[in-house]
């Protein structure tokens, strides 16, 4: 474990600011380092357009299966066209055996920053309206048998009330023959949708958290919102289709307006 960490520190250091890749993309700053890739803000020096650039970690690039996985991610992103809620694919290239791809840069703040660092409260209606936007993205993806599998607050950007879903590193497009995996991945996305709604609803909670308390005890919600959450989180009968979620979500919105 210690050796693996040492290798990451030695070989997976982010590129320095000012480095120009492919004679076009100037690195401005490293935005994040995940277990799979390094993400940068860059500028197209030909057009002065800001973009996001992702690099497969150098230690991962030494493994054929990881390179194949990265290329599958690129192929998946090329097939998605849902602006402005999903960043568009721009470019890809390989330098010295190291793979990179470039995507649109979406301005805004992610929900994690808003909730846990800025302590921004969201009313019940605001939370449901944001979830409605997120469900629209999930509807688009699931119609194409694409499952995100990582719908978390750091991967959801809000810009002037508009929501955008990022990071398709764990996403996968399946075929109808993979029915068992389709069902599992669908429920994963639905659960993530419910968990995101729960985080947003807790932003207005002022009470003291009980040691063994649950959201059912701590939050005061309409029965429509409660039912929506229970089914998304698998406490009651799980949803099988996004259309059923949309119906219950619309009822929940009506119940708080």
Q: How does pLDDT run across 30-63, given as a tens digit for each residue?
A: 998 877 899 999 999 999 999 999 999 988 888 8
- pLDDT score, position 97: 86
Question: In this structure, what are the phi and psi dihedrals at residue 107, rounded to the nearest 5 degrees?
Answer: -75, 155
Nearest residue to 123 (alpha-carbon basis) of 20, 227, 219: 219
Q: Is the pLDDT of residue 208 over 80?
A: no
- The pLDDT of residue 207 is 75
Helix (H) or strand (E) holding 245: helix 242-256
pLDDT at 88 > cutoff 60: yes
The pLDDT of residue 60 is 86
Could you give the CA distance from residue 30 to residue 38 in angstroms, rounded to a whole number? 7
* Phi and psi angles of residue 172, each rounded to the nearest 5 degrees, phi first: -150, 140
Region of 156 on the Ramachandran plot (φ > 0 left; ψ -120 to 50 alpha; else beta): beta
Better-predicted residue by pLDDT, 253 or 161:
253
Give the bridge partners for 146, in sequence order.
Answer: 173
Q: With a cut of 70, say whether residue 5 has pLDDT above it.
A: no
Instruction: Flag whether pLDDT at 9 surpasses 60.
Output: no
Give the integer Cα–Cα distance in Å for 188 and 112: 19
pLDDT tens digit string along 27-39? Answer: 999 998 877 899 9
Predicted confidence at residue 231, as pLDDT, reads: 98
Helices H, strands E: what count in the chain?
A: 9, 11
Side-chain half-sphere CA neighbours of 21 within 13 A: 26
Which domains does the chain possess? 8-104 (3.30.200.20), 109-256 (1.10.510.10)
When pLDDT is cut at 50, 70 and 90, the band that residue 6 belongs to is very low
Angle (CA) 64 70 76, round 5°: 135
Instruction: Output the pLDDT for position 152.
Output: 96
- Residues 139-165 have pLDDT tens digits of 999 999 999 999 999 999 998 889 999
Contact present, 246 and 135 (Cβ < 8 Å) = yes
Averaged confidence pLDDT in the chain: 92
Which active-site residues does the annotation give?
A: 150
Decide if pLDDT at 2 tops 60. Answer: no
Is residue 177 classed as helix, strand or coil in its secondary structure? Answer: coil
């Amino acid at each position: 474990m210690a050796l693996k960490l040492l290798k990451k520190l030695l070989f997976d250091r982010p590129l320095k600011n000012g480095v120009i890749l492919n004679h076009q993309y100037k690195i401005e700053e490293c935005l994040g380092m995940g277990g799979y890739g390094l993400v940068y803000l860059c500028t197209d020096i030909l057009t002065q357009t800001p973009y996001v650039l992702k690099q497969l970690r150098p230690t991962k690039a030494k493994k054929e299966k990881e390179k194949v996985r990265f290329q599958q991610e690129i192929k998946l992103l090329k097939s998605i066209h849902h602006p402005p809620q999903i960043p568009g694919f721009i470019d890809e290239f390989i330098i010295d055996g190291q793979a990179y791809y470039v995507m649109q840069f979406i301005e805004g703040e992610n929900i994690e920053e808003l909730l846990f660092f800025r302590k921004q409260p969201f009313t019940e209606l605001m939370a449901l309206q944001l979830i409605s936007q997120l469900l629209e993205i999930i509807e688009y993806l699931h119609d194409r048998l694409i499952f995100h599998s990582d719908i978390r607050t750091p991967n959801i950007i809000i810009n002037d009330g508009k929501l955008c879903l990022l990071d398709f590193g764990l996403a996968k497009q399946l075929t109808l023959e993979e029915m068992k995996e389709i069902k599992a991945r669908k429920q994963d996305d639905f659960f993530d949708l419910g968990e995101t709604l729960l985080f947003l609803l807790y932003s207005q909670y002022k009470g003291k958290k009980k040691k063994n308390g649950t959201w059912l005890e701590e939050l005061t919600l309409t029965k429509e919102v409660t039912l929506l959450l229970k089914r998304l989180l698998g406490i009651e009968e799980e949803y099988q289709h996004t259309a059923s979620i949309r119906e219950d979500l619309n009822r929940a919105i009506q119940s708080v307006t």
